[in-house]
A and B are shown apart, each in its own frame.
Chain A
Amino acid sequence: MNPPSIPTLSSVIRHGLKIARNPVALARELAVFHTFYKVMRLHEFDEEAYLDQNPDVAAAIRAGQEASARGHYIRFGCAEGRSPTRKVDPRVPYRVASRRRRRSQERSAILAEIAARAGREHLYPLLLDIAAGTGDRILKLNRRVVRTAKADPLVTRFNYDARRPEISVIICLYGHPQFLSLQLALFSTGCRLAPVEFIFLNNSAEHGEFLLRDAKQAARLYEIPVTLINVNENIGLAAGNNLAARHATSSRLVFMHPDVFPRDHNWLAKHNEFSATADGRIFGACLYYDDGSVMHAGMYLERETIRYETSKCMDLLRIRHYAKGVPDCVPDAAKTRVVPAITGAFISIEREHFESLKGFDENFVLAGYEDFDLCLRSAAAGQRVWYCANVRLMHLEAQGGARGPDARGASYVNQWLFSRKWLPSLANKCGPLWSRVEQTR
C-alpha cells in the first residue's frame, strides 16, 4: 500500500477555494471540524464547573432525568455550544477582549457626549439626533457589548446546603462593592426564618477579585447562600437581572437595588403572605427614605411635550412616583392597590411569569425605564402589577451605584426608546389618576 501523498500547498488552496464556493460543503466541513474540536477538549471536562454553569443540567440530574454531567455534554451540551470547562476571563482571547473593550468605551463616549450636550443645549435638537440615528447606533453597540459579556460570566456559589431556597433575591452591583456585605448583614436577621438566596451580579469587572473574597466571607458569616456572577463589562440592569435570574434556584424572584435595606423585621413574612395570593405574581413594596418619608409607592407616566422655537414640539413619556417624599399616612402610600408600575429597586415576581415575559427588555441601555417596561408588558399579558403597602423596606436612592456621565446619557436614550415603544398605545393612559379607576384592595 502506498503511503498517503502529502498534499501540496497549491492543491490545498484549490480544495479550499472549491469548498468556499460551495456553502453546503463549507458548512459540512466546519461541522466536522467543530465536533472534532469538542471531542479533543473532552479530557478537560470539569463536572463541577459544568453543573455550576448549567443549572438546568444540575436540575435534570437531581430529578433523575439525566445520568451524568459528562453524558449530557457528549450527547447535547457539545452540540449546543456549552463549555466543558469553567469559563474564566484569561481564556478569552485577547482579540475578543480588546474588541469588547473598544465597543464598551465607544458606548460610554457617545453616552457621555449626550449627557454633556444635555447640560449645555436645548433638549429638542438632542432628542431629534437620538431619534434620527444616534439612538439606534447606541442600541446596536450596546447589544453587542451585552452579548459578548453575557456569553462569558464567572458564576461562583457560596454556602449552599441541602435546603432549596424559597426566594432568590437578585441584585446588580456597580461601582460600590461594599454593598454586598452591607446587604447580607442587614438582611440576615430577617432571612433566618426562610431560606433565601442572594444572587449578586457584578457589573464592575475591576471589583471582581474583591467581591469573590468578600462574598465567600459574608455568605459564611451571615449564613446566607450567595451566588456571585462576574461579567467583564457593565451590561446594565436589564441584561444583568436577566442573566442573574437564569442562575436562580427558586421559583420566586425579588429584584432589588444594592441600596435597599430592611426597615421592618417582618418584611419577609409580609412579602410571603402577599406573594401567596392570586395578585402576588408581580408586586412592589413601600420603600422609604432613611428620614422616614416615602420614597416609592408605585409609579405612573406623564406625557411631556418638549417645545422648541415656537413651532416645533416632541412628545415623550416621563416616569413619576406617587407620594414621593411625603409621610406614609397619605392614601397613595397606605393603600395596597394596582399601579401602572413599580420601581426596579424592589420587584417581586413569580419566576414562571418573569420567564413568560422573557425578562427585562435588554435594549434599555445601562439603567432606567426597564422596570416600567416590564410592568407594562406584564399588564399587557393580563397580569396587573400590585403595590403592597405592608411590605416595607428602605431605599437609600442613588447611593448604591456609581453614576457617571454615561449613565446620565443613557437615561435620555432610554426615555426616547421607552417613548417610541409605548407612546402610541399609552398616550391616553397617563397621569396619576390612572390608578383611581383600577381596582383597589
Chain B
Amino acid sequence: MRRLRKNSFENTSEDIIYIYPSSWDIQFLEIARFLTDTTGIRTVVRTDFFEHFKVDSDNIARNFAACRVFDIFSVRCADVHDSYGVLNIEKEFIGSRQPVYGVMYDANMVASMLRKIIPQDEKKFGVHHIVFLDRLIGTYTGDRYHAHVVHCSVPSIISTLGLVQAPARPREFYALRNMNPYVPEEILLEKFKDRVLTYNDPRITRIAKGIALQTVLWANGYYPFCKHRTCKLYDAHWQEELIKSQMSGKLCKMHARIIKRIKNQHK
C-alpha cells in the first residue's frame, strides 16, 4: 500500500478527530463512535465549523464568493468576490446554514480558507479536522471541474451535497431524465431509489462513515482510496457502487490490516 508521508506523531495518545456537522440530518455522533471503534482515535463532534470558531461572517462570505466556480471548463474562478450581490447572497447562506444548491466551489480554495480559520495549536499532526459542508465542491482536473464527495486536506471536507450529486447515477436515470426533462427529479429518483442517493437519504449516515474513514487514512499518511469494489474505502464513481461498497460495511484484507495497524498505534 502506498504510504504518502510519515506521521511523526504516531503512537501519541493526543491523536484526535474533530467532526464539524452540517445542517443535514446525519447522525454525527454515530460517525464519531464508528471512527473511534474502528481506528482507536478519540473523536469529538463539535458544533458547526463557523459557529465553533466564531468567524466573522462578512469575511467568510467574501472568501466563499471568491471560491465560486462560474465556468466548469475554466480553471480560473470568476473574479466576482467583491461583487455586492454575491457577497449579500453568501452572507445570507452563512446566516441561514442551509445547503447551497446550484453552485460549485473550488475545493482547494475552500480548504485553504478553512485552514486559515483553524487556530495554529490545532493545526498539527495528530489532530484531524473533518468538516461536513452543505456545499458542492470540485477540483479542476485537466479538462473541467469534477464534483467530489470528499476532499482530503487540512481540514478534510466532506460535501453532503456531493454525496448525492457527485457520483454519477445509473445511465438509465439520465436517459429517462432526457426524455422527461420537466418531470421533477424527485419523481424520477423514486424509480431508482435502491440505486441512487437522495437529499437527506436515511442511508447517508452509514455511507458518510466510510467517507470519513477515507479522510482518517489520509491523515495517517495512507492513500485514502481502494480499488476493490467491495471495500468500504472504494473510490466510487457511480452511486450504485458507492451504495454497495458502503452498505456492505466491509474492508478489503489489505485495508483491514492497515486499519488494525492504526488502531494498534492508538492503543
Mutual binders A and B: no
Residues of chain B whose beta carbon lies under 8 Å from any beta carbon of chain A:
none
Residues of chain A whose beta carbon lies under 8 Å from any beta carbon of chain B:
none
